[in-house]
Amino acid sequence: MSSAFFEIAGHKISPDHYINGQRVAAAESFELFCPIDQRLLGRVAEGSANHVDAAIRAAERAFPTWAALTAAERKLYLDRFAEEIGKRADAFSAVESNDAGVLLSRMRHGVVPRAMLNITWFAQHALDLQTRPIDTEQARHIVKHDPAGVAVIITPWNSPLMLSTWKLGPALAAGNTCILKPPEWAPLTCSLLADAAHAAALPAGVFNVVQGTGANTGAKLVSDPRVARVSFTGSVPTAKRIAQAAGANLVPCSLELGGKSPFIVLADADIDNAAATAALMYRNAGQVCLAGTRLLVDEKIVDAFITTMRRYVENLVIGDPRDEATEIGPIIHPRQVERVTGFVERAVSAGARVLWGGAMHPFGAQYYRPTLLTDVKQGDEIVQTEVFGPVLTLQTFTSDEEAIELANGTDYGLGGVCYGETTHATAVAEQVRTGFIWVNSFGIRDLAAPFGGIKRSGIGREGGDWSFEFFCDVKDVVVPKKPFRASFAQQ
């Protein structure tokens, strides 16, 4: 056990793992740097094979007792967990802002309340899934959602707190025990989650945090045959490796893999509203899987749209995410900066034209200007591949059919946006092949609704019943309504 910690904005964070209700130090560690100003935040424990084994054994031991609790009993624990997150709202906000470069104001007013809701909402929803009878003429079918076992949860660096709780909520509420593998570029709010879980008196082994790199710690977790479920949000290449490792043990995986979503602006759209929403695609320095990064605009209104959107983009405040006035902060890591700049440079070399941006911002080493590229072709890398930075492309169309063809013309299918007269925009949106699409809006979410993508954007759905379908073994208890006698004729 270790008592080591380091401090961010007056808040103490443990760099150690959290296994079986205790902090566990490691011989190996890795450095963690702040994306705002590149200062060293500290060193974080690297999970070894022994740490992975200890966490899985702890989760296995805790599973029978946790699974045997009623949904109402688990809800008492989870409600306290959410309360402890709320008590630490300032710490979660300050730490994730420094760790991941996200806006401090967004953490305070959006992410922390949502993280609490992720826990309490799914705890309540589990009560509704205890029994769901299906009555037929022959029998009564009692559909039960039994917990699967040990769940491994792997979250990305762009929103670690929100996405961790988004998965932990249903997994724990269903009766699974969990091992959370935080993102190596932004692991610290996951460490704070362990503190909140400990203060809420979650039984030892129910919730564990093992830090480390994906290639080392993550690979060991997902390939272990004792694991019953793997839930991952991240990149397509990593997802393929996870699916291959888990598949060897026939372990189900839920994979949310980002996208290259279309943002369609029809000729009858409210141009000002559409342009203002399009500027939102640069939030979190473009590091948002939901962003509509491919602007598809009707040729008849494209000039007016560009003029209007430029005005909104020029007013965006780029700077320190801890400043309340800031609207766009830094890119998470130097390697991600290289990725973004490489995409833009190759696109320009291939003939793309920069309408604005296209270069680093003078505020700091990891700040990139909001960028819009036009004169791109459908087959270009910049159109087909997720950049995950503040870079959008612009293409035009002359008919609904062409807009739909362009929208569907990538290997991704996570989300989308469609602006236009409501009936018209809805009709177009229904023909776009994505997991979800917003009409004349963006970012409206409800925990009861399904979330996930198609094609290379992932496998499975999260939210509402869909989360429980994944984290549970669904069982049908069949009770006949009439006396049953075995007969070969009946079979």
Catalytically annotated residues: 256, 289
The whole-angstrom separation of Cα 192 and Cα 265 is: 42
C-beta separation of 328 from 285 below 8 A: yes
Which amino acid appears at position 271 of this protein?
A: I
Strand 262-265 to 417-419 pairing: parallel
The whole-angstrom separation of Cα 464 and Cα 479 is: 27
C-beta separation of 227 from 248 below 8 A: no
> Please, is 82 exposed, middle or buried when counting C-beta atoms within 10 Å of its C-beta (0-12, 13-18, 19+)?
buried
**CB count, 10 Å around CB of 367?**
22
C-beta separation of 432 from 413 below 8 A: no
Buried b (16+ CB within 10 A) or exposed e, 321-347: bbeeebbbbbbbbeebbeebbebbeeb
Helix and strand numbers, DSSP H then E, in the chain: 16, 22
The whole-angstrom separation of Cα 320 and Cα 316 is: 13
C-beta separation of 41 from 99 below 8 A: yes
CA nearest to 367, candidates 319, 312, 313? 319
Kindly list the distances between the CA atom of residue 101 and the CA atoms of 113, 163, 331, in Å, as whole numbers in the listed order: 19, 16, 7
C-beta separation of 40 from 33 below 8 A: yes
Q: How many Å separate Cα 454 from the centre of its chain?
A: 15
∠92-231-102 over CA atoms, to 5°?
A: 30
The residue with tokens 């399904």 is 450
Beta-bridge partners for 24: 17
∠28-235-118 over CA atoms, to 5°?
A: 85
C-beta separation of 205 from 182 below 8 A: no
Contacts of residue 219, Cβ cutoff 8 Å, sequence gap at least 6:
241, 245
Encoding tokens for residue 488? 């070969």
Which of 239-244's residues contact partners 24+ apart within 8 Å by CB, and which partners?
A: 239/458, 242/154, 242/218, 243/459
